[in-house]
Copies of this chain bind each other. A is one copy, B any other.
Amino acid sequence: MSPDKYEPLTIETLADRLGSVEAICKIVGDDTSKWKINEVGDGNLNLVYTVSSNSGNIIVKQALPYVRLVGDSWPLPLSRSFYEHEVLVRQAKRDPGSVPEIYYFNKEQAIIAMEMLLPHVILRKKLIAGDKIDGLAQRLGEFCARTAFRGSDLSLQTADKKSDTAMFQGNLALMAITESLVFTDPYFQAEMNHHTDGLDPVVKILRSDVKMKSEAQRMLMKFTANTETLCHGDLHSGSVMCTDNETKVIDPEFGYYGPMGFDIGMLISNYLMAYFSQPGHRSSETLLEYQNWILEVIIETCAAFQNEFKKLWNSERTGILFPRSMFEDQGDSSEFALNNMLEHIWQDAVAICGIEMHRRVLSLAHNADFEEIDDAKKRSQLEARNLMMGRDLILNNKSIKNASELTDLAKKFNSENYL
Cβ of A330 and Cβ of B188 under 8 Å apart? yes
Is A401 located at the chain interface by the 8 A CB criterion?
no
Contact of A208 among B207, B330, B336 (CB under 8 A): B330
Query: Looking at the complex, which one of B153, B175, B180, B329 makes contact with A225 (CB distance below 8 Å)?
Result: B153
- Taking A210-B333, A227-B227, A337-B217 as contacts, is the C-beta distance between A170 and B166 under 8 angstroms? yes
Size category, A interface:
35 or more
Known: A172-B162, A184-B326, A321-B220. A332 touches B208 (CB 8 A): yes
A325 interface contact, C-beta 8 A: yes
**What per-residue 1/0 map shows which CB atoms of A163-180 lie under 8 Å from chain B?**
101110110100110011
**What residues of B have a CB within 8 angstroms of the CB of A166 in the complex?**
165-167, 169-170
Q: Does A323 sit within 8 A of B, measured CB to CB?
A: yes
Given contacts A179-B158, A225-B227, contact A214 B172 (CB under 8 A): no
B158-A207 in contact (CB<8A): no
A221 to B165, CA, bound (A): 14
**Do A327 and B213 have beta carbons less than 8 Å apart?**
yes
A344 nearest in chain B by CB position: B218
State whether A228 touches B217 (Cβ < 8 A): no
Asked whether any CB of chain B lies closer than 8 Å to the CB of A2, the reply is no
The answer to whether A322 touches B214 (Cβ under 8 A) is yes
Q: Is there contact, CB below 8 Å, between A172 and B188?
A: no
Q: Are B176 and A158 in contact (CB under 8 A)?
A: yes
A402 interface contact, C-beta 8 A: no
Which B residue's beta carbon lies closest to that of A160?
B172
A158-B172, A158-B176 given; A217·B333 CB < 8 A: no
A320 within 8 A of B: yes
A307 at the interface (CB under 8 A from B): no
Q: Are A326 and B175 in contact (CB under 8 A)?
A: no
What residues on B are CB-neighbors of A163 within 8 Å? 169-170, 172
- Rounded to whole angstroms, the CA-CA distance of A140 and B342 in the bound complex is 37
| A172-B159 CB under 8 A given contacts A179-B320, A320-B179, A330-B207 | yes
Q: Is A224 an interface residue (CB 8 A)?
A: yes
A320 with B158: CB separation less than 8 A: no
| A336 touching B210 in the complex, CB below 8 Å, given contacts A169-B165, A221-B153 | yes
How distant is the Cα of A155 from the Cα of B395 in the complex, in angstroms? 26
A176 to chain B, nearest CB (A): 7
> Which of A158, A175, A190, A217 has the largest number of chain B CB atoms within 10 A?
A217
Whether B320 contacts A184 by the Cβ 8 Å rule is: yes
Indicate if A340 sits at the interface (CB-CB under 8 A). Answer: yes
What residues of chain B lie closer than 8 Å to A327, measured between beta carbons?
210, 213
CB distance from A190 to the nearest CB of B (A): 8
Are A214 and B184 CB-contacts (below 8 A) given A153-B225, A158-B224, A227-B225? no
> Complex: how many Å from CA A327 to CA B187?
9
**Does A20 make an interface contact (CB < 8 A)?**
no
Top 7 A-B pairs, shortest CB-CB distance? A214-B337, A166-B169, A166-B166, A162-B169, A188-B325, A225-B228, A217-B322
Q: List 12 A-B contacts (CB under 8 A).
A: A153-B225, A158-B179, A162-B169, A163-B170, A165-B166, A188-B325, A188-B330, A213-B326, A214-B334, A214-B337, A220-B321, A227-B227
